[in-house]
Structure 1
C-alpha cells in the first residue's frame, strides 16, 4: 500500500549507503519498489522533474499500459523501479519517456559491438588501465562524479569501443539508486596525455553514437561536463563532438585548462582526490572496479539475453540515422592536425 508520499511498504530496503561495500557507492535497489528519497529529494523531484509523489505509481502504470498497448512485443522490464528511471529522465512526459525507452533498447541493435556479451569481466582491462572511475563521495548536490582519463588509453592497447562499454556499464550501475535519478551526475574529463593518436581515432560517427546514447538513449541526467588539462588539440576534438550536442548539453561543457582553482569553484576540494587539488586522498581506481566486477551476475541477467526488439516495429525517429557523419571526417582530421 502506498502512503501519501508514494512509498510502498516492502520491508527493509538494505543497508545504508555508507555501509555498502565498495567505498560507499550506491547500493542496488530493493526487488520491490519502495521510495528511498528523502523529503528534500521528494521536493526536488517535484520542482525539477514534475514528479508528484501521490501520482508516482499511477504515472508508472500509465507508462506500463502504453508499452503493453503500443509495443506488445518489446522485451523490456516493466517493474516500477525500472520505468521510473525513464519517467524522471523525461520529466514525467509519457510520450518522451516511451521514446527514450525505445532508444535505450534500440541502441543495442544499432551498436552490437558495444552491447554483445556486455558484462564487467569483459572490460576488466579498461578498469585496470585507469581509463575511468567514479569518485567515492558525491558533490554537495548529491551528484556522483564520473572521472574519465582518456590519456591512459592508447590505440594499440585495445579498440576504443571497449572504453564505451566500460562507460555504459558504469552508467547502468550509477542510475540504480533513486538519488542519482533525481540529482543526476557530473563528468570530469582529464585530458592529460591526450595526443593526436587518441584524438583522431574515434572519428565523427563513433562520437555521434556516443553522444546520441548519452543524450537520447540513456535515462540519466548529465548536469555538467568539466574538462581539465585539455591540450590545444581539444579544439579539434570538440569540433567533432559539438555538432551532435543539443544546445542545453553544449552549455554544460566547461573548459578549465590547468587552472584547478576554476575547477574547485564547481567541484569542491572536499570530494576531489589529491591529483586535482583535493583533500579526499589519492585517486583509487580499484574501488569502482570492484563495485562493477561484483555486479557481474546482474549485468549477465540484464544484457546477455535475446534481442529485446525482436518483432518490434520502431518509429522513424530512432537513433543513428546512417553514416553521413563520416563525410566530414577528412576536414575534421585536418583540423586536428592544425590544432596539434
Structure 2
C-alpha cells in the first residue's frame, strides 16, 4: 500500500497578493507513471466522506476495475494504469459497474463524434484559444476547485465550426483532471454570456447540444460542482430550454443564473479568486497562461488521442449511450430545433 505521507501538491496561498502566477508554477505537472498518492490528509478525508474512497482499499479497487476491463472488454485499447483508472472510480464513487460504464462511454464518445475527437491536440484549437473563448483562472476557489471560464460571445458562427469550441473545452478538461485534487474537489464553470446574440444562441442546435451534455455528464470522469452564468441575455431562456431536457436533475440544479449582479456571483465565487472584470481582485483576465499550458502539453495529447480507434473489435453493451446516434436524420431533433428557434426569435 502506498503511503499517504507523500508531499502534497502545491496550492496558491489566498492570503498573499493575488498576482497571476507564471503558467509553469500554478498548475501541477502530469502524474508520474507509478502511482503515488498526492492528496493532503484533508483531501483524503474528503474523498472518504464524499466518494467512499478508503485509502487502504484504493489500489485493491483499482485492480478490481482493471480486472473487469481485461475480462469483459479484452480488446479495448485503453490505459490501465492506477492513476488513469482512479479518475473513473472517483467520478462514480467507487462503484465498479458505474465506473466501467463511464470508461466505455469515455471511449465510445470518440467514435460517436469524429469531428471533435479526430486528431485532437492543442495545436488544432489554437485559434479558439487565441480568440479568448475559454481560460482557466489561475487561483482555485477556497474549496480547491479550478474555475473554467467560458465566454461564448467571443465566438461567431462564421469564425469556425462550433465543434472547435468543444475540442478546446475537452482538451481543457483532460488537462484539469490530471491532478488528484481536481478528481476529489471537482471544478466550477463560469460562463460569461456578454455579447451572445441570436447567431450564437441558435448554435449548435438540439442534436449537438445533446451530445455535449452527454459527454460532460456521462462520458468524462470529472465532477462539475457548479455552473455560474453571468450577463445572460433575454434569449438565454431559449438557450437553457435547449439543454435542460438533457440535464440530469442534479446537474440542472447546479446551474446558477446571476445576470449582471456581481454581488450574487461573489456569494458563490469569492472576489479573491476572480479577475477584475468580474469584480475580483486577482488581476485582469489572462487568456494566455492557460493557452500556454495546453500548447506545451501537445505531446501528451498526441500520445493520448492520436492513436488507432480504442474500440476497434470491441462489442459494446446495449446500454451504451451513443449507440445508434449516427443513424437516421434526427427528425425529432429537427422539429424541436424549429420550435426553439422560434422561441429564440421571440426572446430576441
Q: TM-score range by the shorter chain?
A: over 0.9
Aligned to 1:2: 2
Question: 2:183 and 2:159 mapped to 1: Cα distance?
Answer: 34
Q: How do 1:226-305 and structure 2 match up within 5 A? A: 226-305=228-307
Question: 2:141 and 2:333 mapped to 1: Cα distance?
Answer: 36
Q: For 1:22, what is the secondary structure of its paired residue?
A: helix
Question: 2:189 and 2:25 mapped to 1: Cα distance?
Answer: 19
- Would the aligned equivalents of 2:271 and 2:279 in 1 still touch at CA under 8 Å? yes
Aligned residue among 61, 80, 101 for 2:82: 80
Aligned residue among 56, 59, 70 for 1:57: 59
Question: 2:306 and 2:261 mapped to 1: Cα distance?
Answer: 43
Aligned to 1:160: 162
Aligned to 1:329: 337
Question: 2:108 and 2:337 mapped to 1: Cα distance?
Answer: 25
Question: 1:250 and 1:89 mapped to 2: Cα distance?
Answer: 18
Q: What TM-score, normalized to structure 1?
A: 0.95
**Are 2:184 and 1:182 aligned?**
yes
Displacement of 1:326 in angstroms is 3.0
**Are 2:33 and 1:31 aligned?**
yes
5+ unaligned residues in a row in structure 2: which ranges? 13-20
**Are 2:139 and 1:131 aligned?**
no
Question: 1:118 and 1:325 mapped to 2: Cα distance?
Answer: 27
- Would the aligned equivalents of 1:190 and 1:229 in 2 still touch at CA under 8 Å? yes
Question: 2:27 and 2:238 mapped to 1: Cα distance?
Answer: 35
Q: How do 1:207-218 and structure 2 match up within 5 A? A: 207-218=209-220
Question: 1:224 and 1:317 mapped to 2: Cα distance?
Answer: 28
Q: For 2:111, what is the secondary structure of its paired residue?
A: helix
Aligned to 2:49: 47
- Would the aligned equivalents of 1:89 and 1:97 in 2 still touch at CA under 8 Å? yes
Question: 1:20 and 1:337 mapped to 2: Cα distance?
Answer: 44
Aligned residue among 142, 145, 167 for 1:143: 145
- Would the aligned equivalents of 1:20 and 1:26 in 2 still touch at CA under 8 Å? no
Aligned residue among 108, 118, 121 for 2:120: 118
5+ unaligned residues in a row in structure 1: which ranges? none
Q: What TM-score, normalized to structure 2?
A: 0.93
Q: How many residues align?
A: 334
Question: 1:173 and 1:2 mapped to 2: Cα distance?
Answer: 24
Displacement of 1:16 in angstroms is 4.1
Aligned to 1:203: 205
Displacement of 1:315 in angstroms is 1.1
Displacement of 1:317 in angstroms is 1.9
Displacement of 1:282 in angstroms is 0.5
121-130 vs 309-318, which deviates more?
Answer: 309-318
Question: 1:70 and 1:251 mapped to 2: Cα distance?
Answer: 35
Aligned to 2:18: none
Q: For 2:24, what is the secondary structure of its paired residue?
A: coil
Question: 2:244 and 2:10 mapped to 1: Cα distance?
Answer: 40
RMSD value over aligned CA atoms?
Answer: 1.6
285-294 vs 24-33, which deviates more?
Answer: 24-33
Q: For 1:227, what is the secondary structure of its paired residue?
A: strand
Q: For 1:226, what is the secondary structure of its paired residue?
A: strand
- Would the aligned equivalents of 2:23 and 2:289 in 1 still touch at CA under 8 Å? no
Aligned residue among 95, 98, 104 for 2:97: 95
- Would the aligned equivalents of 2:2 and 2:37 in 1 still touch at CA under 8 Å? no
Displacement of 1:2 in angstroms is 2.6
